[in-house]
């Protein structure tokens, strides 16, 4: 059944259509750039708004190339959701190992990041009591200034961790601060810092399977940072994080539609929405669309945004409301209540994607995608890529 037919059969006022074939295509673009290196697919924040469980199940089903070896989430709750959905693939908890969460980390067979001795000792003791061996990755701070050990403390900490009972150090990693920029000078400094630790471990004959720091940006234009595991996020979902334009063929996997719930013809000089920030300059037809900032359509798109209606780009007029947004559809023929409007996506040769909305809203596509709310129904399709 086509996505359009599925959309018409549901009651929801807004629908996100996710094309899993496009996800496969983007995964192949990752594979082209990394060769035989392994992939950690980042699906935190509800898979960047696309639905963590369906995306994880699809990626976990890719047992042939270009397969995914690990899944990455931010928090314990995200990992438990995947486990309870039947996903058994390795899951990396990318924000640490809070001591109070250790029992559930062990119970659900999760792989936490470690970067402090207190968590390391607590996890080791708990694992030993339960007769378990827990895989961990050690996080280094090479310049992000967020999570991680100082580089000066990394080697002794890793040596201590590898000696702990109940602990298997599976990886070391760091996080780029600005690999998306054209100027990679700071990113190179971070890379060199991680290389020094990796080399020191090899000299000390400490064998750790994974070393990783390459995010989507580094996968796309910083090949020397790929090591043996990469962490694609945004590019899986079809967008480039790079400061400069990219020629890599990425396909957005999500299109967002919303219904017209009212049409009103108003005279010139009519104010629209809260604050009366828009006044019609002519007799106008105003469409009220069932999507608002509660659904992730930013209020900053008030009097800035565009949507596609019957193949025409039309402006958002007045302030975006919690549940509704108004459009000037005066020049759109034959529009009816109940028709679908394209909020993100393409229609009849016109397109508006999350990166365009991000520029208009003075933000980044990550925020546009992650902000898509829970009451937006998500439907999934596959087709020949």
**Rounded distance, CA 385 to CA 382, Å?**
8
If phi > 0 it is left, if psi is from -120 to 50 it is alpha, else beta; for residue 131 that is left
Is the pTM here over 0.85, yes or no? yes
| Joined tokens for residue 290 | 């069932």
Handedness of CA 33, 35, 41, 42 (dihedral sign): negative
**Radius of gyration, alpha carbons of the chain:** 24
Phi, psi for residue 293 in degrees, rounded to 5: -70, -20
Cβ atoms within 10 Å, residue 220? 24
The neighbouring-strand residues paired with 259 are 340
Characterize 77-86 residue by residue with b for buried, 16 or more Cβ atoms within 10 angstroms of its Cβ, and e for exposed.
ebbbbbbeee
Residue-by-residue pLDDT tens, the chain, 385 positions: 555 655 666 678 999 999 999 999 999 999 999 999 999 999 999 999 999 999 999 998 755 445 799 999 999 999 999 999 999 999 999 999 999 999 999 999 999 999 999 999 999 999 999 999 999 999 999 999 999 999 999 999 999 999 999 999 999 999 999 999 999 999 999 999 999 999 999 999 999 999 999 999 999 999 999 999 999 999 999 999 998 888 999 999 999 999 999 999 999 999 999 999 999 999 999 999 999 999 999 999 999 999 999 999 999 999 999 999 999 999 999 999 999 999 999 999 999 999 999 999 999 999 999 999 999 999 999 874 4
The neighbouring-strand residues paired with 15 are 257, 377
Each residue of 48-69: pLDDT tens digit? Answer: 999 999 999 999 875 544 579 9
Q: What is the longest distance spanned by two Cα atoms in the chain?
A: 79
Closest CA to 73 of 100, 105, 119: 105
DSSP state of 204: T
Handedness of CA 200, 203, 207, 211 (dihedral sign): positive
User: Which residues are designated catalytic?
Assistant: 44, 274
Characterize 150-164 residue by residue with b for buried, 16 or more Cβ atoms within 10 angstroms of its Cβ, and e for exposed.
ebeebbebbeebbeb
User: Which CATH fold would you assign to the domain 20-237?
Assistant: TIM Barrel (3.20.20)
* Strands, E assignment, 247-349: 254-266, 271-272, 278-279, 284-289, 306-309, 312-315, 325-328, 340-347
Each residue of 71-118: pLDDT tens digit? Answer: 999 999 999 999 999 999 999 999 999 999 999 999 999 999 999 999
Closest CA to 250 of 350, 358, 354, 373: 354
**Rounded distance, CA 211 to CA 230, Å?**
9
Residue ranges of domains in the chain: 20-237, 254-381
* Strands, E assignment, 61-220: 70-73, 91-93, 111-114, 134-141, 149-150, 167-173, 210-212
| Domain range 254-381, CATH architecture | Beta Barrel (2.40)
8 A C-beta contact, residue 93 and residue 110: yes
Q: CATH topology of 20-237 equal to that of 254-381?
A: no
């Amino acid at each position: 059944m086509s996505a359009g037919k599925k959309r018409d059969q549901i009651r929801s006022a807004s629908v996100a259509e996710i094309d899993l074939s496009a996800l496969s295509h983007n995964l192949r673009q990752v594979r082209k750039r990394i060769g035989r290196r392994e992939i950690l697919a980042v699906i935190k924040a509800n898979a960047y708004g696309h639905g963590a469980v369906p995306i994880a199940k699809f990626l976990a089903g890719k047992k042939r190339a270009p397969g995914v070896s690990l899944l990455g989430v931010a928090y314990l709750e995200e990992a438990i959701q995947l486990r309870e959905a039947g996903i058994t693939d390795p899951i990396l908890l990318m924000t640490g190992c809070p001591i109070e969460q250790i029992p559930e980390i062990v119970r659900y067979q999760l792989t936490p990041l470690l970067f402090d001795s207190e968590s390391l000792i607590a996890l080791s003791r708990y694992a030993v009591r339960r007769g378990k061996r827990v895989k961990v990755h050690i996080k280094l701070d090479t310049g992000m200034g967020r999570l991680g050990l100082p580089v000066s403390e990394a080697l002794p900490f890793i040596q201590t961790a590898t000696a702990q009972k109940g602990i298997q150090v599976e990886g070391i990693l760091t996080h780029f601060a600005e690999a998306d920029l054209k100027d990679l000078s700071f990113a190179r400094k971070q890379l060199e810092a991680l290389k020094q630790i990796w080399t020191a471990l090899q000299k000390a004959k400490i064998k750790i399977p994974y070393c990783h720091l390459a995010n989507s940006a580094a996968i796309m234009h910083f090949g020397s940072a790929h090591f043996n595991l990469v962490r694609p996020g945004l590019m899986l979902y079809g967008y480039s994080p790079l400061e400069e334009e990219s020629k890599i063929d990425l396909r957005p996997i999500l299109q967002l539609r919303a219904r017209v719930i009212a049409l009103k013809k108003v005279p010139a000089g009519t104010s629209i929405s809260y604050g009366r920030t828009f006044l019609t300059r002519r007799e106008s037809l105003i469409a009220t669309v069932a999507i608002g900032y509660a659904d992730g359509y930013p209020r900053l798109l008030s009097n800035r945004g565009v949507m596609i209606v019957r193949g025409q780009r039309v402006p958002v007029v007045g302030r975006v409301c919690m549940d509704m947004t108004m459009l000037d559809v005066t020049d759109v023929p034959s529009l009816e209540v109940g028709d679908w409007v394209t909020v993100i996506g393409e229609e009849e040769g016109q397109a508006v994607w999350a990166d365009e909305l991000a520029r208009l809203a003075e933000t980044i596509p990550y925020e546009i995608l992650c902000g898509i709310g829970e009451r937006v129904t998500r439907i999934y399709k596959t087709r020949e890529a």
